[in-house]
Amino acid sequence: MPTGYTHAVAEGTITSPREFILSCAPAFGAFIEFREEHLKPEDIKPELFDRENSSSYYEKKLKDAEDALGTLLLATEDEITLARTKWNDEQKASRARYIKENTEKRKNYETMIAAVEAWDPGPTDVKNVKAFALQQLRDSLKSDCPTNKDYWYGGSEFKDNLEYFDFFKNSYEKDIAYATKELKRENESTKNCKTFVTELLATLKGMK
């Protein structure tokens, strides 16, 4: 039975060894970034990995973190106060919303548990359905509605501007350091991918 790679050979639509070998290349890790793009043999070339032809998650993360840090460092005291107040208000609203949703879900689970517990399935194996149903409900109640209130509270609220400033300054600096490291690794990977394709094409030179 032909595979996704050999189907065209079986059908006779690919007769060139070079074309077939290049159609197999996307199976290798060098092309993982393009796995959803259904690359054709003619797409397999070093330029595929140039920045304008590929996306960089860490390049964007680095720019976003640098911009955010720059904005923070230039912010006036009034601007930081405004940002801190907005942040704290958002945390309070989020916490209130979560507690409300958590309370409603807990009530729904507990009501259903009580109803299933009251069900008498008799002495047959049907009783196993009851046990399974209750286990599902109790597991969901435990994971979906934690009783630890610290879990409900989400993001921290900041008592003053300095605490807000230090928290986000440290956060952005960590983001910059991490994105820089990953971007360096990504660039090295891109270099290796281009080398792989260059070497592959060189071995196929002269092949039809």
- Phi (first) and psi of residue 169, to 5 degrees: -60, -45
Share above pLDDT 90 across residues of the chain, in percent, rounded to a whole number: 43
How confident is the model over 13-32, as a mean pLDDT? 85
Q: Which residues contact 133 (CB under 8 A, 6 or more apart)?
A: 116
pLDDT of residue 132: 96
> What pLDDT was estimated at residue 73?
97
Write out pLDDT tens, residues 152-183: 556 678 999 999 999 999 999 999 999 999 98
Least confident of 15-29, 49-63, 88-102: 49-63
pTM greater than 0.85 (yes/no): no
Indicate if the pLDDT at residue 36 is higher than 80.
Answer: no
Length of the chain: 208
According to the model, what pLDDT value does residue 54 have? 55
Q: Please return the burial class of 12, using the count of CB atoms within 10 Å of its CB with bins 0-12, 13-18 and 19+.
A: exposed
CB-based contacts of 111, cutoff 8 Å, min separation 6: none
What is the identity of the amino acid at 109?
Y
Compute CA 205 distance to the chain's CA centroid, rounded to the nearest angstrom. 40
Lowest mean pLDDT among 98-107, 144-153, 156-165: 144-153
Residue burial 90-124, b: 16+ Cβ < 10 Å; e: rest: ebeeebeeeeeebeeeeeebeebbeebeeeeeeee
How sure is the predictor about 131, in pLDDT bands with cuts at 50, 70 and 90? very high
Task: Return the ∠ at Cα 21 (arms to 53 and 37), rounded to 5°.
Answer: 30
Record the tokens describing residue 188, joined without a space. Answer: 């090295």
